[in-house]
Amino acid sequence: MDIKNNILETIGHTPLIRLNKLTRDLPCTVLAKVEYFNPGNSAKDRMALKMVEVAEKDGRLKPGGTIIEGTSGNTGMGLALAAVVKGYKCIFATTDKQSKEKIDILKALGAEVIVCPTNVEPDDPRSYYSVSRRLAKEVPNSFYANQYDNLANRLAHYETTGPEIWEQTDGKVTHLVVATGTGGTATGTAMFLKEKNPAIQVWAMDPFGSLLTKYFRTGDIDINQVHPYITEGIGEDFVPQNYDMKVIDAFEQVTDKDAAIMARRIAREEGLFCGYSAGTAVQGLMQLKDRLKKDDLVVVILHDHGSRYVGKVYNDQWMMERGFLDVKTFKDIVAGRGAKRLITASSENTVAEAFELMQKYHIENLPVLEDNVLIGALSESGLFSRVMNNGSDIKGKTIAEVLENPYPIVAFDTPLERLSALITRENGAVLAKDESGNYHIVTKYDLIQALGA
C-alpha cells in the first residue's frame, strides 16, 4: 500500500509538462515544472517545510511555539500546513497588494493574518517586514521564519527541485527560467544544476519596480529603481541573503500587463491554471527567445495556482480597470457608431405615436422613461404581435397599457461578451448611462456590427 502519513509527505515530485501552443514558434522544447501540484499549490511548500525542520533541529522552534513570517501568501500557506501537522500556531504579516483569496486561505488554516501597507519602505514600522520582526520579539516562544535571509529556503530547492529537474530531464536540461523574489527557488535550484553541468543557463525574471535586475547587472542597490507594481510574490525592494548572483546568468524585467496577459494565455492555451508569477516567467522567456537554439531544453517554473488570482488576473473587470485587457465595451460601441440622441417615449404617448417615432428614426427598440427613469420599453416585434392579435384598436391605446419589460441597464464599460448574453430574442437591447448621466442604447444590430468589425 502507498499511504502518506500526513499531507507534508506529498510535497515535491511535481510534474514536468511540455508547453505546446505558446511555444510553437520557439526553436526548442520548453517544459513547465508545475509547482501547484504541491499540496499548498505552490513552490513555497518546499522551503516552508525545510525552514520549519531546520528550526526544529537547531532548537529555534520548540513544541507549542508560534511561527511568524512576512509573506505574500504562498510561504504562509506552506508554513500553515506544517503548523497544522506539527502543532504550531502561526501569525503572518502580509501586504494590501495580495489577493483576498490568499488571505482567506491562510485564515482557513487557522493562521492570524495582519495586513500591512505595500507602498512603504522596508524599514518603515508599518511594513510587513518590520511588523513580522517586531512580533517575533514580542510573542513568547516564537520563531521568525524570515524566508528572505533564511538559507534553508534555497537549501530546500538545492535538495529537491534541482534534483527532480535533473532526473526528469535525464540531465539534458540546458536552461532554467524562474520568476524570482526571495531568491530561494532560483538560487537553490541553480546551485544544484550547475554542480551537475556548469553550462546550464539560469534566467531570472523580475517585475519592473524591483531593484534586483539592476543589482544583478551593476552591483548597485538603487532604491530609485523601486516603485509600486502589481505582480504578486516576486521582485524585491532590497536584496535577500538567499541570492548568490554568481549562479544566475541573466535577469529580465517583465511588465505587470504582459505578465497578467501571459498568465491568462497559459490557462487558455495550455490548460495550466497558474498564478501571476508564472505569467512573468513565461513572458520573460519569450522576451529572450532569440537566445535559444534547436537542441535546447528549457525548464520554466510555474510557481503557484491560478485560484489565488480569480479576483484579479482572471477577472475581466479588474484587468480592464488597469488597462491590461483590450476588450470592446458598451462605450466603444457607442463611440464607434457616433454619438446619437436616444429616442425615447413617455407612458402617456399613444401606440400610434410610438409607431411614428420608430418609422421616422428607423428603430425597433423604444425605451420608455419618466423623469429620466426607465420604466419599460416598446419593441417593433412586440407591437406587431399585439396589432395582429387585437387589430387597429391598439393604436389609440397609451403606451402605459402595452408596456413591455424595461431593457437591462449596465455599466458604461460593460464588455461586449456580457452584452451578448443579455440581448436575447425576447430582449433586443440594453441601456447604459455615460459619465454625464445620459442614457445610450445598444441593440442586437449594434452587437452584430461590433462582432464583425
Beta partners for residue 431, in sequence order: 409, 441
Phi/psi for 252 (5° steps) reads -135, 135
Residues paired with residue 113 on neighbouring β-strands, in sequence order:
92
Residue 370 three-state SS: strand
Strand 409-410 to 112-116 pairing? unpaired
CB 263, CB 275: distance < 8 Å:
yes
SS (H, E, C) the chain: CCCCCCHHHHCCCCCEEECCCCCCCCCCEEEEEEHHHCCCCECHHHHHHHHHHHHHHHCCCCCCCEEEEECCCHHHHHHHHHHHHHCCEEEEEEECCCCHHHHHHHHHCCCEEEEECCCCCCCCCCCHHHHHHHHHHHCCCEEECCCCCCCHHHHHHHHHHHHHHHHHCCCCCCEEEEECCCCHHHHHHHHHHHHHCCCCEEEEEEEECECHHHHHHHCCCCHHHCCCCCCCCCCCCCCCCCCCHHHCCEEEEECHHHHHHHHHHHHHHHCCCECHHHHHHHHHHHHCHHHCCCCCEEEEEECEEHHHHCCCCCCHHHHHHCCCCCCCEHHHHHHHHCCCCCCCECCCCEHHHHHHHHHHHCCCEEEEEECCEEEEEEEHHHHHHHHHHHHHHHHHCEHHHCCECCCCEECCCCEHHHHHHHCCCCCCEEEEECCCCCEEEEEHHHHHHHHHC
Q: Please, where are the H alpha helices in 59-180? A: 74-86, 100-108, 128-138, 152-156, 162-168
CA distance to 2, 297, 298, 323, 450, per residue, from 30 (Å): 32, 6, 5, 30, 37
Q: All 3 cell numbers of residue 314? A: 482572471
> Of 33, 44, 194, 444, which residue is the catalytic one?
44
**Looking at the DSSP assignment, which residues form a beta bridge with residue 116?**
95
172: annotated active-site residue: no
Any idea which residues carry the catalytic annotation? 44
